[in-house]
Amino acid sequence: MATTTDAPLAAAERLAHAYGDAWNAHDIETIMSLHAPGMTFHLHVEGFEEAATPEAVRGQFEAIFAAWPDLHFATTRLHVAPELVVHEFTINGTLAAPWPIEGGAAQPTGRRIAFDGVDVLPLRDGLVARKDTYLDGLAYRAGLLEG
């Protein structure tokens, strides 16, 4: 039987799974509904600034889905605490539009690539308060720049 002290942990785990499922479904409405007011997003790669308004966050997420129409996250490890989720994953996808890299843009090749990453998701009131995404820079660049 779960105790009341287990409830925040169980809620955070449900949120982590719902958020991951929404990302893999490219369901922008569900993703946005799982964000706390004032949520910010930072994809820590060149060409991306921190998004600090709901419109900017949505815009970056929509750009990601447009450029990577088959984007999928395969969880390798999931660490859950009542106020923090750390999601380790492998990203698979095919670039379908120019993508900023090294002061220019990687061009679509039709080749599916994969690289590892991690999301650090502090939670507030049971919702994602911030999303910091870090990628394996060497594999990311190699996948985008190798022809």
Judged against a pLDDT cut of 70, whether residue 4 lies above it is answered with: no
Asked whether residue 1 carries a pLDDT value surpassing 60, the answer given is no
Residues in Cβ contact with 133 at an 8 Å cutoff, skipping those fewer than 6 apart: 41, 42, 43, 44, 117, 118, 119
The pLDDT value given to residue 147: 56
pLDDT value of position 111: 94
Res 3 pLDDT > 50: no
What are the tens digits of pLDDT across the range 55-67? 999 999 999 999 9
For 40-55, write each residue's pLDDT tens digit: 999 999 889 999 999 9
Of 50 and 145, the one with more pLDDT: 50
> Three-state SS across 33-90?
HCEEEEEEEEECCCCCCCECCHHHHHHHHHHHHHHCCCCEEEEEEEEEECCEEEEEEE
Tell me the mean pLDDT in the region 98-102: 89
Q: Which residue has the tokens 């964000």?
A: 35
pLDDT of res. 5: 60
Q: Name which of 48, 37, 36 is nearest 85 in CA terms.
A: 36
CATH code of residue 24? 3.10.450.50
Boundaries of domain holding 37: 4-145
Total domains in the chain come to 1
26 has pLDDT over 50: yes
Q: Write out the H or E segment, with its range, that includes residue 28.
A: helix 28-33
pLDDT value, residue 6 = 81
